[in-house]
Structure 1
Amino acid sequence: MSDVADDALDWDEWMDLSDAEREAAVDREMAAYNRWYDGLTLAGQIAHGRRAALRGCRATRRLIRHPLCPEIIRQDARERLKAAQVRLLKIRIWRATGSRPGSA
């Protein structure tokens, strides 16, 4: 079976769940992610945050450059790009000082 068909099946199963079941599933996944993230070293957390911010920058830049992208979407993408660049700056400070900016 293709990935698209698998995704469609997963989506149908997801939509068949009640709101409480969906919330419980999201809570379980978030708890698993938090355990994984908390288990990373400081360098690992910094690398993970940096990779995610860089992926966001690349994706929003592609969207801004897309010729058929409406201007309202471009404006939103510019704001998201600016936010990702600020995150990268904060990560650089975190890496240099060992503490997150604003956490003191």
Structure 2
Amino acid sequence: YRKQEAALLGILVEIQATISQSYYTYTIPCDTAYDMLVALKMRAAPSSRARELELQSRYAKLKKTPRSQAIEPWLQLWENTYTDFVRLRLPEVDRDRLIHDFLFAIRGV
């Protein structure tokens, strides 16, 4: 029991040691690591609208065929972007717009 208690306390200390000082105050009233992580998420995680806007921006950049960029990282970004669109259930996935834009972009490679 004491080992578990010490380990849990170690997690609390590690969380507070690795976060930015500006977020430290949000962890002070928390009793558990879970409470700390929830408080930090509520404060630091982007809103769903912000995620959508960031994803739309990334998608717009990917629609252009890469000229100087290596193809492998570009393909990986397409994969990640598509997965994020599916996870957020954005309408572009339902209408296969991403797939068509990918095929159009890859045509120039």
TM-score in terms of structure 2 length = 0.39
Please state which structure has a larger fraction of its residues in helix.
1
Rg larger for: 2
How does the TM-score come out when normalised to structure 1? Answer: 0.40
